[in-house]
Amino acid sequence: MKKFLLILIGSAIIFGLGSCAGPGTLKWRYDVGCRVVTAPAIGLDGTLYFQVADDYIYALTPQGQLKWRYQLRRRATSDLAIDADGTIYLLTEGHLYAITPDGKCKWKYDTEVYETTSLAIGSDGTLYFGGWDNYFYAVSSQGELRWRYETGDQIYWSPAVGPEGTVYFWSSDGYLYALTPEGERKWRYKTDENLSSDLAIGSDNTIYFGLWNNCFYALTTLGEVKWKYTFREAVVTSPAIGPDGTIYFGTNDGCFRALTPQGKLQWTCQLENRLENCVSSSPTIGSDGMIYFGSYDEFLCALTPQGKIKWKYKAESRAESFPAIGSDGTIFFDGEYDDYFYAVRSKSRGLADSPWPKEYHDNQNTGRAR
């Protein structure tokens, strides 16, 4: 396979080209020069966004060219999320930023919270997040506090918004909360152990999550246990849901799992590397049903809906952030320690048409079911 390098001042884009280029081959990679610290988000126009360790937000074209970068001078405490108008939101130490699609600061809200969850965006543009100050926040799309709700302890797993607007989140006081869009509590469910994953919401509004007691739970919209499945090891990634309702995630024994919507084990894929916690990123499901995730042995893995490895791409370090998928099938992810942002080919044309195809639901990371 022929390859060539195109070197740009201040960065490098490496292209992998050749007549046999197909799924699982490098399209390009962008040398940021320092560690990427947030998962990728894709704007509706295909622009790629992420933040790196020197506190810059980067915006790249789908071809891997720099559009702009914006320095926040603050450490990110959340992944990026993008609203319907293209505004990019990010929580940092003490602040919530709104950045325009052309890289300008729209507004900044002072949270005075130095550790937070990632964001979820309601259908009306309300921004939801939790903090280690024991409060759950709702901030308007104009940067004004709508309300905050006090829990009994820190909140460090990200919220999810149901299609009817209910906001779900877990606090380390041991409760999973369901709040109305106005901040009133609908119910709370006492968990047996701490969460080990973010939430996912099914087509019938079932709420799915893992706990460190090796159990995977399904709750109804009334906060009642629908079913639970117990493994030998804990769930270690957030779940994604396929078009037929199958729920996919990794466990701490180097396995990738699939459960039916009724809570029956459909299949188990034992990865070749049997290290504990071998699955290093939450899965993302493509339009053709393929399942993509990172592994600790530095591979981006593509799994069929039947649980068979289709292909693997070897990166320079492990792929820890969950992948995003462009409309042309390009899979975007970062290496944890190699300073690269990757674009790898696939046959998937965007995300699956499913209830919850990836962590935070969609390529814009809204955390909202539709």
Please tell me the distance from the alpha carbon of residue 287 to that of residue 302, in angstroms, as a whole number.
13
Integer Cα distance of 254 and 236 in angstroms = 10
pLDDT digits (tens, 9 = 90+) for 23-50: 999 999 999 999 999 999 999 999 999 9
Residue 153 has pLDDT above 80, yes or no: yes
Answer with the residue of higher pLDDT: 295 or 151: 151
| pLDDT at residue 280 in the model | 81
- pLDDT tens-place string over residues 120-136: 999 999 999 999 999 99
Q: By C-alpha distance, which of 42, 90, 84, 91 is closest to 67?
A: 42
Closest by Cα among 87, 92, 73, 75 to 140: 87
**Residue 19 pLDDT class (50, 70, 90 cuts):** very low
- pTM summary value: 0.93
Cβ–Cβ under 8 Å, residues 367 and 121: yes
Q: Mean pLDDT over all residues of the chain?
A: 92
pLDDT by residue (tens digit) across 272-282? 755 545 778 99
